[in-house]
Structure 1
Amino acid sequence: MAETRTVAERLTAALAPILGVDRLPVRLRAWDGSVAGPSEAPLVVLRSPQALRRLVWARDELGLARAYVAGEIDVECDLYAPFAALTARGRLAPGESPAPSLGDRLQLVRTGLELGVLGREPPPPPEEIRVRRYGRRHSRGRDAAAVSAHYDVGNDFYRLVLGPSLVYSCAVWDDPAVGLEAAQEAKLDLVCRKLALRPGSRLLDVGCGWGSLALHAAREYGATVVGITVSQEQAALARKRVAEEGLPDAVEIRVQDYRAVDDGPFDAISSIGMAEHVGRAQLPAYAATLGSLLRPGGRLLNHAISWVGESTGPNDRTFIARYVFPDGELVDLADMIGALTSGGLEVIDVEPLRQHYALTLRAWVRNLEEHWDDAVAAAGAGRARVWRLYMVASALAFEVGKLGVNQVLLHRPGGAPPPLRPDWLRAGK
């Protein structure tokens, strides 16, 4: 008599080709309790047939993400483990990977039919972002809506994830043992030194977040700072922090698009983790706008994530676009430098920080997991799962070199020539 395969065994056979592997590098437990796969492998749990329905209707990363965000797929191990296994072998791996064949997709449908679990396409989890439907891409209104979708999920939630520094960009680690707060302090100080801030310097901080760089520049370097963001929640907390530190005369926080700033010139401009929201086609205009706000000899520091080896265009079918950064576009370093210099700015220095971001993301994941119950209370279980998934996946992408992050320092020609690199490497202020 033919051997009857369990639900888990059928799922394992059907999912392997969809994920681009000969055999699943994870151990799978199905909703009926059956288990299949290597005993030593990371354990992935399909808690509901709904997870399979999502994969039938969305046979790419979006189906997996929807099932995870909804709690229909879970892991009973370190989330890095199954991701690392699939990143090493399958369609989650960096680089080009062919889509599942028609035969592979039909096999997944047949498996669902055999198990009697197919049905209508499930609605996406409520955390899925639909900003793409509103207005022209990268118009001021749509950009504000896209930023709000990511950043206005609750300041209490971000405090738990980011820690007391409230810095939402790559830290600079002298050593992994220094800890996140010290590493973020080092990054803020590095930015200020690269921008050659001095008492009385006028700084424009584009995408100022919760005001951490603005506060550091005013407190430690005596700069006068204008910080701009289009997030209402960020601005509210940033203003509160400015007042608490007694710096209202030195730091102004505005809810303002960078395209609306008209009170230059500034001695320096920082743009930390903001250019990813601009859009590749708009980058030359972005650089020209910021360059026009600099005095001759003034400096711009652009700190941005890159998709290594290529630039990404708009793609609304990805997990990141639907759940994390709607309308975000990552630009390869060469394309970014080309755009930044197209309006006459000159490059002074380029510094890659890829490995530093991997350490930063792992620290944020630890914060989230250590405060999981509070994070769920602050933003909901689905939103907490979104952040955990995207930060784990991003950490691995930085570690294997698919994602990079770079600080490009430029100046507007005129005035004295820029000094050599030691002016921001030396200790002291």
Structure 2
Amino acid sequence: MADIEERTARRRHMYGTRDLAALPVFAGGFINFGYWRDVDLSGPITVEQRVATQEALYDVVLDALALRPGDRVVEVGCGHGVGTRRALRHDPALVRGLDLVPEQVARATAANDDPRVAFARGAAHDMPFDDGAFDALLSVEAAQHFEDVAGFAREGARVLAGGGRFALTTFFATSAAAAPELVAAVESFATGLDLAHPVDDVLGHLRAAGFADVAAVSIGEHVWRGLDRWLELGPRPDHWDRAYHRAARRGLVDYYLVTARKPAGSGV
């Protein structure tokens, strides 16, 4: 696998210069595999349906956060900010998006017209926000890139107020034993674009950071088959293959909703 500098440069190219959101495999400014529960996979799939699956994945996470009017919300790994702004449906007091790639921050800022929303550049393990600044933190299909998941967990606990809620969704290795096989099976893991974080390690980092009620639920049944069907039928870049679904069928990787809570009496 490439070293950290090469991995960082590859992500900067993919998300910055290349802009993954512009690829046909995605749509609508989103960059996620989608949540396909309500899509009929037996027939054609439209671009509109593809966009709806990406919105639906955000809604899974936002619903898990149980957002309330007046909440202060942050998304870590916000990309174009399309999903970040979806939190506005819950009438928050403010919403912030954080991304490591400056081009993504610029795109998100240029597309935003709501004064409650702002975007900043920063790393998941070193967030440019005050202690206790938020009531809810979300991350959608970004944590597979994080070089320092333990640092992300600590920073998440720091920027959340007591009683704050945490929810992320993405794909992780199903176990430490599966991680090397996953790297060998899927090109994005082999090149280091994605990192094969075992899901139990992620949960352990959240607990070590002081989070309570830490849990992971598989939602892969509503992700892998739909994504694979889209790749089979729909427009896609030439390099894109269907190895994710094959790896999921082998039990090497799964798509998870991870939730946690900062105890009300801890910190800010």
TM-score of the superposed pair, with normalisation by structure 1: 0.53
How far residue 171 of structure 1 moved from its aligned partner, in angstroms, is 2.1
1:195 to 49, 60, 65: 65
- Specify which of 357, 360, 363 is matched with residue 230 of structure 2: 363
| Counterpart secondary structure, 2:169 | strand
Confirm or deny that 1:275 pairs with 2:143: yes
* Cα-to-partner distance string for 1:301-321 (whole Å, 9 max, x where unaligned): 122312223263797997325
Match of 1:385 in 2: 238
2:44 is aligned to none
Write out per-residue CA displacement over residues 238-285 of structure 1, whole angstroms, 9 at most, x where no aligned residue: 22321xxx31x1111122223042324210111222222223xx3222
CA distance in structure 1 between the aligned counterparts of 2:21 and 2:217, rounded to whole angstroms? 31
Q: Count residues with an aligned counterpart.
A: 252
Residue of 160, 182, 196 corresponding to 2:24:
160
Matches within 5 A, 1:94-173: 132=3, 137=4, 144-155=8-19, 158-164=22-28, 166-173=29-36
Q: Helix, strand or coil for the counterpart of 1:235?
A: helix
Q: Which has the higher contact order (CA 8 A, sep 6+)?
A: 2
Distance 1:333 1:260, change over 3 A: closer
The residue aligned with 1:332 is 198
| Kept after mapping to 1: 8 A contact 2:214/2:259 | yes
Corresponding position of 1:287:
153
Matched AA of 1:197: L
**SS of 1:385 mapped into structure 2:** coil
**For 1:222, which of 68, 91, 101 is the aligned residue?**
91
Whole-Å separation in 2 of the counterparts to 1:232 and 1:411? 30
CA contact (8 A) 2:75 2:97 kept: yes
Whole-Å separation in 1 of the counterparts to 2:170 and 2:20: 25
- CA shift for structure 1 position 322: 5.9
- Structure 1 CA distance, aligned partners of 2:231 and 2:107? 20
Post-superposition CA distance 1:171-217 (Å, at most 9, x none): 22233328322222222222112112122211110000111221100
Is the contact made by 1:354 and 1:401 (CA closer than 8 Å) also made in structure 2? no
Q: Secondary structure at the match of 2:75?
A: strand
- What is the one-letter code of the residue matched to 1:298? G
Q: 1:262 aligns with which of 119, 129, 132?
A: 129
Corresponding residue for 1:21?
Answer: none
**RMSD (CA atoms):** 2.9
Instruction: Report the alpha carbon displacement of residue 385 of structure 1 after superposing the two structures with TM.
Output: 2.9
Does structure 2 conserve the Cα–Cα contact (< 8 Å) formed by 1:144 and 1:230? no
Larger mean CA deviation between 178-187 and 306-315 belongs to 306-315
Give the secondary-structure state (helix, strand or coil) at the position aligned to 2:24: helix
The answer to whether the Cα contact below 8 Å between 1:161 and 1:365 also exists between their aligned partners in 2 is no
Distance 1:269 1:254 in 2: 15
Change (3 A) 1:210 1:367: farther
Q: Which residue of 2 aligns with 1:404?
A: 254
1:31 alignment partner in structure 2:
none
- Unpaired segments ≥5 residues, structure 2: 42-48
Query: For 1:411 and 1:172, how far apart are their aligned partners in 2?
Result: 24
| SS state at 1:177 partner | coil
Equivalent pair of 1:304/1:405 in contact (CA under 8 Å) = yes
Q: Once the two structures are superposed, what CA deviation does each residue of 1:367-424 show, in whole Å capped at 9, x if it has no partner?
A: 434xxxxxxxxxxxxxx432x23xx111222244321011111000116xxxxxxxxx
Amino acid at match of 2:245: A
Moved >6 Å (runs of 4+): 313-318
**Letter aligned with residue 172 of structure 2:** S
Instruction: After superposition, give the CA deviation of every residue in 1:210-237 in whole Å (9 maximum; x if it has no partner).
Output: 112211002x112221101112332222
CA distance in 2, matches of 1:172, 1:185: 8
Q: Structure 1: which 5+ runs fail to align?
A: 1-129, 370-383, 416-429
Q: Percent identity?
A: 22
Q: For 2:55, which of 178, 185, 197 is the aligned residue?
A: 185
